[in-house]
Amino acid sequence: MGKVIRKRAAEASGPFLGLHFAVYARKSTEDARHEDHKSTARQVDQARRYVESRGGGILADQVHVDEAASGAEFQDRPGLLRFLNALENGRPFNALVMSDDDRLGRDQYRTNYLLQQIVDKGVRVFTYLDGGREIVLDNETAKFMQSVRSFGAALEREKARQRCRDAAEQKARQGLVTGGEPYGYENVHHQGGKEVPRGQPHDYVKRRVREDQAQIVRGIFKAYSAGWGMTRIAKAMNGHPAFADLSREYFGGGRVPPPWKRTGSWSPTMIREMLYRRLHHGEIVWGQTSHVDRNGRAGVRVKRPEDGWVVIPAPDLKIVPDDLWEQVQERLAATNETYLRDVRGKLWAKPELRREGRYLLAGLARCGECGWNMTVLGGSPQRVYGCSHHHKRGVCGNGLTQSVSRVDSAFLGALEREVLTPERFAYAVRCGLDRVREELAKDPDRRPALEKERAGLARKIERMVAAIGDGKGPAALLQEIAKAEARVAEIEAETARLAAVPALGGLDLKRIERDVAGQLGRFADLLKGNVARARQALKKLLVDRVHFRPVDLGNGRRTYAFKGELTYGAVVRELICLENVPSGIRTRVIGLKGRCPRPG
């Protein structure tokens, strides 16, 4: 009895008396320096012993754990997010214990910011490794020392990533497997230079061709080379009856077993990936992408410049012969030419299926008398534009037709004279920026208020969702959630618009004017070149369809006068190279006018 009383008295007088602890534990595959970091259960157990030995107590419902979570990941860590939610909403704890501060993260900036948030809430933070210590941020020296520790953790993570990448590159240069198992091949495990069954210990993995799948790969290349599209090839391989002839010719008829059980079928994206895979042509390509930490996310995959790729010849892995490979790559390149991209290579638009690009103004012009579409009429040797309602329904009095080539030439000439000039473009940019600045000057910086409103709505949504539970709550409550979510979306859009104001002030208009001539020349060339890409460019420029109104020239001769309204929006965003240009800068150019040349 006396021993129990003395024990309780010792606990009651410990340094953690009155502290109610939450625990945070994280395990990542990148952690190998300390035994504790290899198990979250061990971390929690050690934290419990550390706290209880000093007279404190751990709250049973405040043990937060993240398994296999990177130290650079801050958005997809459920345990951390639950802890931060409890911190913001009536926390029952007043202290936090971890094995080490790098459990919160291994990003120097974000880890220190999280620690500062926790301490600012009045929560004391303790770590039990290295004898135990409290993280204190009440002076600049302490903050600096904590930044040094966070820098060390981040640096160790970066070195570990580089070590992994160097090892993978060395394997790739030796022709060994560093990734998955692409279709057409199988991975073979080797131990001591001999092949061993999968699942047994092995030194390295090499690929070899699977001839049954290689026949399917060659069939895909042959079908695409013959003019079939990726969607039809996928449907034929999935056994669609409408493409039975295609299946019989290239795949032996019947359904081709898919490479993965996940979807149970072939898709056009699978076909596309195979057509581009250089391994089928006997080349191992390593390093096309890398993983970076971005916006609180770990391992975000980004493309690397081609000069950084490692290409290793592998003739024993070639499935597709040279001539077939070249034919397919030529067709892929020709198809890509019909997709409009901006000057930085970013995809702007894609052609409409099958019919995009035959006539420049089809679907983009309308009759000035009835308002319906202008269509292409006639056949060889010459096609003409005319009012579809007149020629197909007889309800419009506009029976004038004009040569497609003559109308296109006149329209593009007016566009080049009236719109794609440096003077007109520079004037539009100035007007757009002035209008945006005037609009934003009337409204002071509302971002703090918007952020506060957004945070309040987020808490409200969370409470309503928790009240619903199984998702079958009253209709009125579901409507309130939808309304609050819509308002959050509006606030985020408004915040992004306000965040762009400083960028507008930093624009170098003189530089833009110097660069604009060459860029406008590029758009002029684009409009005169490939028709499919020219149509995509027009869709970016036109606010609405172009009006074609018949006019009388006298002596029984008639032609079309056209009028259109265009916007520089997409072009302005492209030339200025701003990611957050507000929509108000989309200055319109009104009054593109012109006449088709007189016939004959």
Beta bridge mates, 190: 195, 204
Query: Residue 61: phi, psi to the nearest 5?
Result: -95, 10
Residue 391: predicted pLDDT: 79
Whether 211 has a pLDDT exceeding 70, the answer reads: yes
In a domain, 569, yes or no: yes
Mean pLDDT of the chain: 78
Whether 534 has a pLDDT exceeding 70, the answer reads: yes
Least confidently predicted of 31-40, 86-95, 196-205, 569-578: 569-578
Whether 418 has a pLDDT exceeding 90, the answer reads: no
Q: Are residue 227 and residue 256 in the same domain, yes or no? A: yes
H or E element in which residue 131 lies: none
Q: Are residue 252 and residue 306 in the same domain, yes or no? A: yes
In a domain, 456, yes or no: no
Contact 72, 106 (CB under 8 A): yes
- CA distances, 24 to each of 49, 79, 80, 167, 302 (Å): 14, 8, 7, 32, 31
For residue 226, the tally of other CB atoms under 10 A from its CB is 12
* Banded model confidence at residue 586, pLDDT cuts 50, 70, 90: very low
Query: Based on the structure, what is the number of domains in the chain?
Result: 3
Distance CA 530, CA 542 (A): 18
Distance CA 340, CA 346 (A): 9
- Which residue, 142, 270, 147, is CA-closest to 213? 270
Contact 133, 142 (CB under 8 A): no
Q: Are residue 146 and residue 250 in the same domain, yes or no? A: no
In a domain, 94, yes or no: yes
Which of 286, 314, 347 is the last residue in one of the domains?
A: 347
In a domain, 490, yes or no: no
Query: What are the strands of the beta sheet with 402-403, ordered from one edge?
Result: 374-377, 384-387, 402-403
**pLDDT tens for residues 249-284?**
999 888 898 887 666 788 888 999 999 999 999 999
Give the mean model confidence (pLDDT) for residues 427-438.
Answer: 69
- For residue 423, with 0-12 CB atoms within 10 Å meaning exposed, 13-18 middle and 19 or more buried, which class applies? exposed
Q: What's the N-to-C CA distance of the chain in angstroms?
A: 119
Least confidently predicted of 11-15, 219-223, 319-323, 390-394: 11-15
* Banded model confidence at residue 441, pLDDT cuts 50, 70, 90: low
Q: Are residue 131 and residue 194 in the same domain, yes or no? A: no
Which of 318, 347, 376 is the last residue in one of the domains?
A: 347
Which of 291, 315, 347 is the last residue in one of the domains?
A: 347
Query: What are the strands of the beta sheet with 546-554, ordered from one edge?
Result: 365-367, 546-554, 557-567, 588-595
Q: Are residue 539 and residue 397 in the same domain, yes or no? A: yes
Q: 308-338 burial by CB neighbour count: b if 16+ within 10 A, else e?
A: eeeeeebeebbbbeeebbebbeeeeeeeeeb
Q: Are residue 518 and residue 565 in the same domain, yes or no? A: yes
Distance CA 174, CA 519 (A): 45
In a domain, 500, yes or no: no
Give the mean model confidence (pLDDT) for residues 476-500.
Answer: 75
Q: Are residue 269 and residue 312 in the same domain, yes or no? A: yes
More confident residue, 118 or 356: 118
Whether 4 has a pLDDT exceeding 70, the answer reads: no
Contact 118, 96 (CB under 8 A): yes
**pLDDT tens for residues 369-389?**
888 888 888 866 688 889 887
Q: 532-553 burial by CB neighbour count: b if 16+ within 10 A, else e?
A: bbbbbbbebbbeebbbbebeee
Tokens (6 digits) for 369: 């008398």
CA 559, 565, 569, 575 dihedral sign is: positive
Torsion of CA 149, 153, 156, 157, to 10 degrees: -160
Name 583's Cβ contacts closer than 8 Å, sequence gap at least 6. Answer: 497, 569
* Banded model confidence at residue 584, pLDDT cuts 50, 70, 90: very low
Give the mean model confidence (pLDDT) for residues 105-123.
Answer: 88
* Banded model confidence at residue 2, pLDDT cuts 50, 70, 90: very low
Contact 311, 284 (CB under 8 A): yes
Q: Are residue 267 and residue 238 in the same domain, yes or no? A: yes
In a domain, 358, yes or no: no
The three-state (H, E, C) secondary structure of 389-433, written as one string: HHHHCCCCCCCCCEEHHHHHHHHHHHHHHHCCCHHHHHHHHHHHH
Give the mean model confidence (pLDDT) for residues 130-158.
Answer: 84
In a domain, 228, yes or no: yes
By residue range, what is the domain housing residue 532? 365-423+511-595
Give the mean model confidence (pLDDT) for residues 390-419.
Answer: 82
In a domain, 457, yes or no: no
* Banded model confidence at residue 339, pLDDT cuts 50, 70, 90: low
Tokens (6 digits) for 591: 């009054």
Q: 183-214 burial by CB neighbour count: b if 16+ within 10 A, else e?
A: bbbeeebeeeeeeeeeeeebeebbbebbeebb
Q: What is the CATH number of the domain that holds 71?
A: 3.40.50.1390
Q: Are residue 311 and residue 376 in the same domain, yes or no? A: no
Give DSSP secondary structure letters for 160-222. Answer: HHHHHHHHHHHHHHTT---S---TTEEEEEEETTEEE-TTS--SEEEEEE-HHHHHHHHHHHH
Residue 124: predicted pLDDT: 93
Q: Are residue 145 and residue 244 in the same domain, yes or no? A: no
Q: Are residue 287 and residue 384 in the same domain, yes or no? A: no
Residue 539: predicted pLDDT: 78
- Which residue, 104, 105, 107, is CA-closest to 123? 104
Q: Are residue 189 and residue 128 in the same domain, yes or no? A: no
More confident residue, 445 or 272: 272
More confident residue, 264 or 210: 210
Q: How far is CA 444 from the centre of its chain?
A: 32
Torsion of CA 574, 576, 581, 586, to 10 degrees: -70
Residue 553 in 3-state DSSP? Answer: strand
Give the mean model confidence (pLDDT) for residues 21-43.
Answer: 74
Residue 362: predicted pLDDT: 84
Residue 585: predicted pLDDT: 37
Residue 579: predicted pLDDT: 38
The answer to whether the peptide bond before residue 381 is cis (omega within 30 degrees of 0) is yes
Whether 182 has a pLDDT exceeding 60, the answer reads: yes
- CA distances, 449 to each of 15, 52, 456 (Å): 42, 43, 11
Share of the chain above pLDDT 90, in %: 19
Query: What are the strands of the beta sheet with 20-26, ordered from one edge?
Result: 57-66, 20-26, 95-98, 124-127, 133-135
Query: What are the strands of the beta sheet with 185-191, ordered from one edge?
Result: 194-196, 185-191, 204-209
Give the mean model confidence (pLDDT) for residues 225-231.
Answer: 90
Give the mean model confidence (pLDDT) for residues 71-95.
Answer: 87
Q: What is the CATH number of the domain that holds 210?
A: 3.90.1750
Residue 535: predicted pLDDT: 78
Distance CA 145, CA 448 (A): 31
Whether 197 has a pLDDT exceeding 60, the answer reads: yes
